[in-house]
Amino acid sequence: MAKINIGGQAVIEGVMMKGRHIYAVSVRKADGTITTDIQHSTTIMERIKILKLPILRGMATFVESLVLGVKTLSFSAELYGEEEDAEEPSKFEVWLQNRLGDKGEKIIMGLTMCLSFVFAIGLFMVLPMLISRLFRHQATSSFVQNLIEGIIRITIFLIYMKLISKMKDIERTFQYHGAEHKTINCLENEKELTVENVKACSRLHKSCGTSFLFIVMITSILVFTLFTTQILWQRTLIRIFMVPIIAGLSYEFVRWARISPDNKLADFLSKPGMWLQREFTTIEPDDMQIQVAIEAVKGVLENDESVSKQ
């Protein structure tokens, strides 16, 4: 299996694929046609060399992925609905446009990302900690307390995934997620990018963001065990400020698992994340969705010279 310098993400009725210097977003519009947008993208690690170091590169990748994810989701939603959207802009949108011009959209995007980040921290980091406090008198060991907190965190995450997977729009996004994985797997197996070849490939991938999130859950248990304070505000701040470190450590594991395809330990430790993909976040796509993913990959391959098989 060849190593390919390309990753991806499902968006609204489409797929984003990213190489080292180019990303392509392909969306099937309401009229059935596929539109692909090609954009240049330079990682901050190219400008600040120290961020290429282990752990730091994971932190940088985590932040850049959040920014690009919000940007491409917003773009795809706008592109898909542009022919159906006949509503007049709201007074707030008009005011923002008049006051800030093109910067208004970037501000809204930034606020959306910040709110999403705060929600995620609150739901998956702070809430499990608060619930686990109910057991602090029964479990006096710091390790046991963090283990209980970790179990609660994973339970909340699984319930959350189960609930959102029932939503129709999310279900379609998970189909495009499956198409994204299948297309990358087809490319890594050095097969021609045709619908039939892609259909035959797996919808699971070790480098998936779902696997990354699960590794974050596990890593947080180990990292928080190092901090034994029982003071609530200190425990809360630790969980907030340690998120980038946990993300960096988790990235290193996912990266190692991807470059070690024949390592039995990597395979074993990747199984929970692969299970999550199979049960929740990827669904078998149809031919039309696969076509969109193929177009996104071609958009990168034809425009990013740095994408190569090593």
In sequence order, the β-bridge partners of residue 27 are 14, 35
Say if 68 falls within a structural domain.
Answer: yes
In sequence order, the β-bridge partners of residue 34 are 28
Say if 309 falls within a structural domain.
Answer: no
Main-chain dihedrals φ then ψ at residue 52, nearest 5 degrees: -85, -5
Range of the domain at 39: 7-301
Query: 233 vs 12, 72, 82, 129, 239, CA distance in Å?
Result: 38, 36, 46, 11, 10
Say if 1 falls within a structural domain.
Answer: no
**Those residues with Cβ within 8 angstroms of residue 262's Cβ, 6 or more apart along the chain or in another chain:** none
* Type of residue found at 20: R
Say if 2 falls within a structural domain.
Answer: no
Model confidence pLDDT, tens digit, residues 76-101? 888 776 544 445 555 655 665 666 66
Q: What is the pLDDT of residue 199?
A: 96
123-156 burial: b if 16+ Cβ within 10 Å, else e: ebbeebbeebeeeeeeeeeeeebbbbbbebbbeb
Residue 132's pLDDT band (boundaries 50, 70, 90)?
very high
Q: What is the pLDDT of residue 138?
A: 85
Say if 308 falls within a structural domain.
Answer: no
In the three-class reduction of DSSP (H, G, I as helix; E, B as strand; rest coil), residue 180 is classed as: helix
What does pLDDT average to over the chain?
86
Number of domains in the chain: 1
Instruction: Return the percent helix, strand and coil in the chain, to nearest 5.
Output: 65, 10, 25
Say if 105 falls within a structural domain.
Answer: yes
252 CB-contact burial (10 Å; exposed 0-12 / middle 13-18 / buried 19+)? middle
Mean pLDDT of 102-120: 74
C-alpha to C-alpha distance for 97 and 15, rounded to whole angstroms: 29
Say if 289 falls within a structural domain.
Answer: yes
Compute how many other C-beta atoms are within 10 angstroms of the C-beta atom of residue 235: 21
Say if 172 falls within a structural domain.
Answer: yes
Query: 259 vs 2, 5, 154, 182, CA distance in Å?
Result: 10, 12, 26, 18
C-beta of residue 285 within 8 angstroms of C-beta of residue 2: no
Model confidence pLDDT, tens digit, residues 146-185? 889 999 999 999 999 989 988 888 999 999 999 999 999 9
Question: How much is the pTM?
Answer: 0.84
Token pair of 236 as six digits = 């809360």
In sequence order, the β-bridge partners of residue 10 are 15
Model confidence pLDDT, tens digit, residues 39-74? 998 888 988 999 999 999 999 998 898 889 888 988
Model confidence pLDDT, tens digit, residues 236-289? 999 999 999 999 999 999 888 877 777 888 888 888 889 999 999 999 999 999
**Those residues with Cβ within 8 angstroms of residue 166's Cβ, 6 or more apart along the chain or in another chain:** none
pLDDT exceeds cutoff 60 at 310: no
Percent of the chain past pLDDT 70, that is, above it, reads 87
